[in-house]
Amino acid sequence: MHCPYCRHGDTKVLDSRVAEDGGSIRRRRQCQGCEKRFSTVELMQLTVLKRSGATEPFTRDKAVAGVRKACKGRPVTEDQLACLGQEVEDALRTSGYAEVPAHEVGMAILAPLRQLDEVAYLRFASVYRQFESADDFEDEIAVLRTERRLRSTAEDMQPVSTG
């Protein structure tokens, strides 16, 4: 790790602290060259287990790339995609997998994508949940409709007078 101020190669660790959620370690370091101080954060490497049995490091970019395709022509911004990537990474980190099956990455995308855009969600779900016919789309749309109705019913509910 180079010093961010002078690029010196040697740094001394002054202090190490485990984050509250136990998922990372923060280290306070001092450059041996210019003596300035800076912090580093050590995170567990999230690994994705592919169907072929090969593993690769999880990257938000890669997770978001598939979503971006599903969002083509939809009113979804790059900022929203970046937030979704963050949500997916957080969900996978708290899931407790040492190696996350690739399928689970797709599944972790479904819930936040449904909140973001229903059309993109249906496109993405049709691939990840292997929709085989129009019936599968109809079933999924029925679920979306029911949920939307439940939401609006809850919003419309008025306090009942007991007088």
Per DSSP, the residues of 31-77 read: ETTT--EEEEEEEPPPEEE-TTS-EEE--HHHHHHHHHHHTTTSS--
Nearer to Zn ion, 40 or 80 (CB): 40
The interface region with Zn ion, picked from 33-41, 58-66, 78-86, 145-153 by CB under 5 A, is 33-41
Question: Which of 1, 5, 99, 151 is in the footprint of Zn ion by CB under 5 A?
Answer: 5
- Select from 27-35, 103-111, 122-130, 143-151 the region that touches Zn ion (CB under 5 A): 27-35
Segment (H or E) for 84:
helix 78-95
DSSP state for residue 157 in the 8-state scheme = -
Cβ at position 6, least distance to Zn ion in Å = 3
As a residue count, the chain comes to 163
Q: Figure out which of the listed residues 34, 127, 143, 150 binds Zn ion, where binding follows CB under 5 A.
A: 34
Determine, following the binding rule CB under 5 A, whether residue 1 of this chain makes contact with Zn ion: no
Per CB under 5 A, does 3 bind Zn ion?
Answer: yes
Helical (H) or strand (E) element with 25: strand 24-31
x/- map, 6-25, Zn ion, by CB under 5 A: x-x-----------------
Concatenated DSSP letters of 100-115: EEHHHHHHHHHHHHHH
Pairing of strands 24-31, 11-18: antiparallel
CB closer to Zn ion out of 33 and 66 = 33
Shortest Å, Cβ 9 to Zn ion: 9
37 lies in the site for Zn ion, by CB under 5 A: no
Pairwise CA distance, residues 162 & 149, whole Å? 26
33 touches Zn ion (CB under 5 A)? yes
Binding-site ranges for Zn ion (CB under 5 A):
3, 5-6, 8, 31, 33-34
